[in-house]
Amino acid sequence: MRHIKNFFLIVLGTLLAVVMVQNAQPITFRFLNWNYQVSQLLLVVIVLVLGFLAGFITAWIPRRNRTPDEP
């Protein structure tokens, strides 16, 4: 089972790397009244990290609030 998981992680990582390399052109990112010129590659990485952090935090909060007698 571990080999299957590693295989899918390698395939997913490779696909992510291909998408990131193909989307390296600069784009204009607008937030409120600010305009930023940023590489699309950098924006994808930032959104990926923010999504990971949001998932980690939402999974961590319910475990933290449990009382000791709950499973």
Listed in sequence order, the residues at least 6 apart from 48 whose beta carbon sits closer than 8 Å to its beta carbon are 16
The two tokens of residue 45 are 């990485």
Closest CA to 24 of 45, 51, 47: 45
Interval 12-37: pLDDT, tens: 889 888 887 887 788 888 888 888 88
Please state the domain extents for the chain.
2-64
CB of 23 closer than 8 Å to CB of 45: no
- Which residue has 């999504």 as its token pair? 51
Q: What percent of the chain has pLDDT over 90?
A: 13
Reported pTM: 0.53
Round to whole Å and give the CA distance between 60 and 8: 25
CB atoms within 10 A of CB 39: 15
